[in-house]
A and B are shown apart, each in its own frame.
Chain A
Amino acid sequence: MVRVDGLNQGGALIEVRSLDKTYQRGSEEIHVLQGLNLDVDEGDFVAFMGPSGSGKTTLLNLLGGLDLPSAGSIVVAGDEITSMSGHKLASWRARHVGFIFQMYNLIPVLTAYQNVELPLLLTTLSKAERRRHVETALAVVDLADRMHHYPRQLSGGQEQRVAIARAVVTDPTFLLCDEPTGDLDRASAEGILDLIHQLVDKYGKTVLMVTHDPRAAERAGVILHLEKGVLVECQQCGRSGGMS
């Protein structure tokens, strides 16, 4: 269940409290996020919508430990990530977060197999174990037969599937998707959304997705609207949820 009032008393997978993010541009302070509260339970599929500059991607970056907030806290599975050092945060990301980008961001000189294996290089798994994990992840995204292809030999939809396999291969605590269908045609986008939905429904993954596409957002269980760094609307929220 997703709550945005900050009144949840623990138990959520992701707990965001009074989150602020401010950038300094010259003498001007830009408040990208302001006092944001959010609780996301395990297995939730949340979509963030809003106009450009509303703070969606910034929120995703903060939740993924890619950036630090100006104020407030983020607790994920009991770990307070806003106070972690850079090195610890990198380890935490490797263990807990799967990222899916709009532009796939695969490494062009590596095959699909090698791209998916990348996060596993940071683990203590043996080569055989890594192979088993990679093959499983590629099978989940239905690309087992393309594992030795390079990104340039794949279509956009297939590249995004490889990116999804890379995101899930370590079995992370949650997935962060930044416009995962933004660079795809309608048919490919539907396929990717089906796949993400499958990860939630079949494998119980928690997914937080930023999108401009209302049809993509509708696939989520909850849609949160951001405007000027503030959550202004929550569709299909849990019964006890409400605007903070």
Chain B
Amino acid sequence: MRFFPFIVANLFRKKTRTVLTVGSFAAALFLFALLATIDTTFTGGVEVAGADRLIVLNKTSIIQPLPISYRDRILQIPDVKHLTYAVWFGGMYQHERNFIPIMAVDTEGFRSMYTEFAIPQEQWEAFVRDREGCIVGRSTVNKYGWTLGDRIPIKGTIYPGSWEFNLRGIYDGTRAEDDTTQFWFQYPYLDERKEFFKGVVGWYVVRVVSPDADARVAAAIDERFANSAFETATESEKSFAAGFVKQVGNIRLIIVSIGSVVLFTLLLVTGSTMAMSVRERTGEFAVLKTLGFSDLTVMFLVLAESLMYAVPGACIGLTLAKIFTLQGDPTGGLLPFFYLDPERMLAGFVLALAAGIAAGIIPALLAMRLRIVEALRRV
């Protein structure tokens, strides 16, 4: 700590250079944090997916339906504990830009299947009582400024026409990664109004007695409906979510690639700054050594200086990124959630420290190995 004022004083030697270098760290960490947030957005569904839940889809394609009659037949399969179903509806509010992930859901089983969504009991009951009722996630409600009791007009995308719903409930996620953009309404309302594909659902969600039973139950379901007009493809929710992410592309690879380039550039910028700084101060390091500063102390001072670029830069970048993510989903509702978690922030900070050390290590070693007599001759 006693060297701290000395280290800080050196940072103010070239103010512009210091500001630019700290700014580079801030910009890089801001970008890293946003990339990490996007990664969390895409992979978060995989991570929070229920281990004991299976998704039953039409084997042909995700957009092909399954008969509602499968409900009872699936429930007869051993180790199936619970079941619900849903239909993808989509829909837009007021403008095409305002796309909302809307689903028609089963009022009997849906709530007990997705216990991670918190809905006040009286709101759920009001929803069940009202055939045109809907429950909407907190972020979508906040985005459009809706309040309970509002009549919400929606333009159908898959099911055309104007649809109107009464907002009966608002759900919250119990975890930061939970998607609070969804809009649910009653399946019977959809089935009554639609003119085609009546008596079918989009998919079933099955809860098994334990995660160990996943594979066995999935095989049993698919076997039960083999060679029928609507063959099924059953997989765990985790595997389904991972597959969905894969369809978008290898997000993690893209993020790692961009992150690596940013980090490499940062290393060049900071490494060059530190190298210049050490070269300019060769004489001063020689004087420090003359005064009795050991080689290791001099190395520590240079590394500490390098970290003094990294730490404030990282703090600024991560704080700005956090503030940015707190403003909500920048795509206007296309992302299920947009959340920078503390673990990613910590990872970013550690990464910045590592970059600071990596950038400073060579100049630090040069300063450490400096021979006093030769360096003093250059003063």
Contact = CB atoms under 8 A, between A and B. Distances in A.
B345 to A, nearest CB: 33
Interface stretch (A93-101, A136-144, A234-242): A93-101
Closest 8 CB pairs of A and B: A94-B292, A90-B294, A109-B9, A93-B292, A105-B287, A66-B372, A119-B291, A67-B373
A33 to B, nearest CB: 13
A122 B292 CA distance: 8
A84 interface: no
Given A118-B288, A121-B6, A105 B379 contact: yes
Contact of B6 (A66, A90, A114): A114
A127 B289 CA distance: 22
A61 interface: yes
A22 to B, nearest CB: 14
A43 interface: no
Given A90-B295, A110-B9, A114-B5, A64 B287 contact: no
Given A66-B372, A103-B379, A109 B293 contact: no
B260 interface: no
A70 to B, nearest CB: 14
B9 A90 contact: no
Contacts of A99: 290-291
A232 interface: no
B2 interface: yes
B301 to A, nearest CB: 10
Given A64-B290, A107-B9, A109-B9, 7 more contacts: A66-B373, A66-B376, A91-B292, A93-B290, A110-B6, A114-B9, A121-B2
A86 interface: yes
Interface of A: 61, 64, 66-67, 86-87, 90-95, 97, 99, 101, 103, 105, 107-110, 114, 118-119, 121-122, 127, 166
Nearest to A90: B294
Q: Chain A interface mostly helix, strand, loop or mixed?
A: helix
B193 interface: no
Contacts of B373: 61, 66-67
Nearest to A92: B292
Given A90-B294, A109-B13, A118 B283 contact: no
B155 to A, nearest CB: 65
B12 interface: yes
B295 A87 contact: yes
Contact of B296 (A87, A93, A107, A166): A87
Nearest to B10: A109
Q: Which one of A92, A94, A121 has the highest number of Cβ atoms from chain B below 10 Å of its Cβ?
A: A121
A91 B12 CA distance: 29
B267 to A, nearest CB: 26
Contacts of A119: 291-292
B191 interface: no
Interface string B6-29: 100110110000000000000000
Contacts of A91: 292, 294
B3 interface: yes
Nearest to B14: A109
Q: Which one of B10, B288, B290, B372 has the highest number of Cβ atoms from chain A below 10 Å of its Cβ?
A: B290
B239 to A, nearest CB: 59
19 contacts: A66-B290, A66-B376, A87-B294, A90-B294, A93-B290, A93-B291, A94-B292, A94-B293, A99-B291, A101-B287, A101-B376, A105-B287, A109-B9, A109-B10, A114-B6, A118-B6, A118-B288, A121-B3, A121-B6
B304 to A, nearest CB: 13
Interface string B287-331: 111111111110000000000000000000000000000000000
B172 interface: no
